[in-house]
Chains A and B, each alone.
Chain A
Amino acid sequence: MSTAVLTRTVHAEWLRLRTVRASWWFLAAGVVSMLGIATIAGLEERAESGGPAASAWLAAVITTMPGQFAFYGLVLLAVTADYSSGGIIPTLQWTPRRMVLFVARTLVPVVVATAAAVLLALAATTLVWAMVPEFTMPWGEADVLGTVALVVGSGCLLSVGLGFLFRSTAGGLVTVFLVMLVLPLILPQFGYDWMLDIAQVLPGYGAAYLLFGEDMGITTTWAVTVLAAWGVGALALGAARLVTQDADN
């Protein structure tokens, strides 16, 4: 894979990403949800003034929990829009080396979305810290941004992989919501051990554990491994479909 070709393809993917409105709508959804929640939380904390001192970094994880899904939508659409519009036909004429396209089309949206999520988590934290006098923002705890990057980054990889695998926005979105949110949330509620076992191998369970670090019966290593396995697995299947199958069947 020549680096010149890959560099060009990366530039082209960046141009593609920023020249469709959907990208900006999803980004706007991320901004509104994350900063909106931070503002509401800040207002509430300020109202009960004289409360206990706490770390404003909590805002980073609280806002990432719902905000992450805007970024999954963004990266998923960056892949599936070409299939729904037929744009994959010219795309593959211009970049017939499919692994080159795969790498560029994974790299650009995932890096953009993950960076945006980290910046917004930082902005949310700063906002809460500025609004609530009792809150502190110790830089020693800034590693929570690394956790945000890990969770959103692997969720984005999963979404991109599913996009290439299903070639359908609806199929991708439903699956992402199921494994990142719905199933990890409801399966443990039934009280059966085997359902909890299933929940614990879903990426959303690991993501919640990493963000909130509560007693959830798994370790950090386990959570990271599960997230990475889902991301890498979906990418591998997606790449296999792109490389081996006809352009748009």
Chain B
Amino acid sequence: MDHTSSGISVRGLTKRYGEVLAVDHLTFDVEPGKVTGFLGPNGAGKSTTMRMMLGLDKPTEGSVLVNGRRFAEVEEPLRHVGALLDATSAHPGRTGRNHLRVAARTNGIPLDRVEEVIDQVGLGAAAKRRIKGYSLGMRQRLGIAAALLGDPEVLLFDEPVNGLDLDGVRWIRDLLRGLAAEGRTVLVSSHLMSEMQQTADRLVIIGRGRLIADASVDEVLLGLGRRHVRVRVPDPDLLAQALGARGVTTHRVGADELQVDGCPAESVGEAAHRLGLPVHHLAEVDQSLEHAYLELTASAVQYHGHTPEGALT
């Protein structure tokens, strides 16, 4: 596939805000026809990377091309790239409909299309109300409507499920999958790996501005992942003892929660059952991903305590 003319190509992208190195020499491609999950803990540099994709922030180094061009050179940007960044960014005094009409005007999009996207995102009657009265979920829908307005080939969504209820989350997931199925390039960021595992085909994982993984979801889970199990029961010590007697390692990770290594969820559940313990929560978790997260967060904290040069090594 020709990365230079289709999709998004990020090359050595770096952004420094004063002493904060927000994005650190990132290189990856986002391909059409797939949902690419852009994953990383809070503060990893996802939003900053997306802002640079849209020319909002200038890279300190490196470059990013969307469909082979710098975003700021595109004449009718909404017809090529739709984006939802911070959903709260809109003039609160304008109605949702007028917000979208302004967007349509700027890119020569017919005003009929505004009504179509209002229906598509389910904003409905709220469109004639002022944005100041919108819930976060409604603002997300408005932002998504703006992103869809120009029927673009490339779509960027920064944490789009924030503030949405369960129906909304499912709706977004279907929307993203549908857009990718139509052959569009879809990049969606999240700090929740569970969400991305269900939605994305590929994962680009970053931490502290650096690339950690760039692979398909399966590769990430297989290559990085031995799974472990998290279980919550009223008497975790009792369960830990029982599992320990069978040579299974456990760690206490909360008042009533255990992490169980190298043992499938079924066996943990059965062990609890034999002890007569009610299981409040039982889940298989990808250990490596979670570990990577913890380590990154830990070193990020460390980094803040040291000289900024430490981040360059």
Q: Do A and B bind each other?
A: yes
Interface residues of A (CB under 8 A from B): 2, 4-5, 8-9, 11-12, 15-16, 19-22, 81-82, 85-90, 92-98, 244-249
Task: Report yes or no: B90 in contact with A90, Cβ–Cβ below 8 A.
Answer: yes
Task: Report yes or no: A89 in contact with B75, Cβ–Cβ below 8 A.
Answer: no
| Residues of chain B lying within 8 A (CB to CB) of residue A15 | 98, 101-102, 105
- Complex Cα spacing A244 to B55, Å: 11
Shortest CB–CB separation between residue A19 and chain B, in angstroms?
4
Q: Which chain B residues (264-290) contact chain A, with CB distance < 8 Å?
A: none
**Chain A CB within 10 Å — which of B81, B90, B143, B146 has the most?**
B90
Chain A residue with Cβ nearest B83: A93
Chain A residue with Cβ nearest B146: A90
Task: Report yes or no: A20 in contact with B94, Cβ–Cβ below 8 A.
Answer: yes
Give the top 10 A-B pairs by smallest Cβ distance, nearest first. A86-B89, A12-B105, A247-B56, A94-B106, A89-B89, A96-B72, A246-B57, A12-B106, A19-B98, A87-B91
| Residues of chain A lying within 8 A (CB to CB) of residue B103 | 90, 94
**Chain A CB within 10 Å — which of B56, B78, B98, B108 has the most?**
B56
Task: Report yes or no: A82 in contact with B91, Cβ–Cβ below 8 A.
Answer: yes
Task: Report yes or no: A89 in contact with B86, Cβ–Cβ below 8 A.
Answer: yes
Decide yes or no whether B118 CB sits under 8 A from chain A: no
Interface residues of B (CB under 8 A from A): 17, 51, 54-58, 71-72, 74-75, 77-78, 81, 83, 85-86, 88-95, 98-99, 101-103, 105-108, 143, 146
Option from B58, B77, B88, B99 in Cβ contact (under 8 Å) with A93 = B77
| Residues of chain A lying within 8 A (CB to CB) of residue B108 | 4, 8
| Residues of chain B lying within 8 A (CB to CB) of residue A94 | 77-78, 102-103, 106-107
| Residues of chain B lying within 8 A (CB to CB) of residue A95 | 77, 106
Option from A5, A19, A86, A246 in Cβ contact (under 8 Å) with B86 = A86
19 A-B contacts (beta carbon < 8 Å): A8-B106, A9-B106, A12-B106, A15-B101, A15-B102, A19-B102, A85-B90, A86-B86, A86-B90, A87-B91, A89-B86, A90-B89, A93-B77, A93-B78, A93-B81, A94-B106, A94-B107, A96-B55, A96-B74
| Residues of chain A lying within 8 A (CB to CB) of residue B81 | 93
| Residues of chain B lying within 8 A (CB to CB) of residue A20 | 91, 93-94
- Complex Cα spacing A249 to B57, Å: 9
Task: Report yes or no: A246 in contact with B58, Cβ–Cβ below 8 A.
Answer: yes
Q: Provided the pairs A8-B107, A86-B88, A89-B56 are in contact, do residues A16 and B93 lie with their beta carbons within 8 angstroms?
A: no
- Complex Cα spacing A191 to B31, Å: 72
- Complex Cα spacing A97 to B89, Å: 19
| Residues of chain A lying within 8 A (CB to CB) of residue B143 | 90
| Residues of chain B lying within 8 A (CB to CB) of residue A96 | 54-55, 71-72, 74, 77
Q: A11-B105, A16-B94, A85-B89 are in contact. List 14 more A-B contacts (CB 8 A).
A: A12-B106, A20-B93, A22-B93, A86-B86, A86-B89, A87-B90, A89-B85, A90-B99, A90-B146, A92-B54, A92-B55, A94-B107, A96-B72, A247-B51
Q: Provided the pairs A15-B98, A87-B90 are in contact, do residues A247 and B57 lie with their beta carbons within 8 angstroms?
A: yes
Shortest CB–CB separation between residue B19 and chain A, in angstroms?
14
| Residues of chain A lying within 8 A (CB to CB) of residue B72 | 96-98
| Residues of chain A lying within 8 A (CB to CB) of residue B91 | 16, 20, 81-82, 85, 87
- Complex Cα spacing A5 to B76, Å: 8
Shortest CB–CB separation between residue A81 and chain B, in angstroms?
6
Task: Report yes or no: A93 in contact with B105, Cβ–Cβ below 8 A.
Answer: no
Chain A residue with Cβ nearest B54: A93
| Residues of chain A lying within 8 A (CB to CB) of residue B77 | 93-96
- Complex Cα spacing A95 to B106, Å: 7
| Residues of chain A lying within 8 A (CB to CB) of residue B99 | 90
| Residues of chain A lying within 8 A (CB to CB) of residue B55 | 92, 96
Option from B56, B58, B74, B75 in Cβ contact (under 8 Å) with A2 = B75
| Residues of chain B lying within 8 A (CB to CB) of residue A22 | 93
| Residues of chain B lying within 8 A (CB to CB) of residue A92 | 54-56
- Complex Cα spacing A21 to B130, Å: 11
**Chain B CB within 10 Å — which of A12, A87, A93 has the most?**
A93
Task: Report yes or no: A85 in contact with B102, Cβ–Cβ below 8 A.
Answer: no
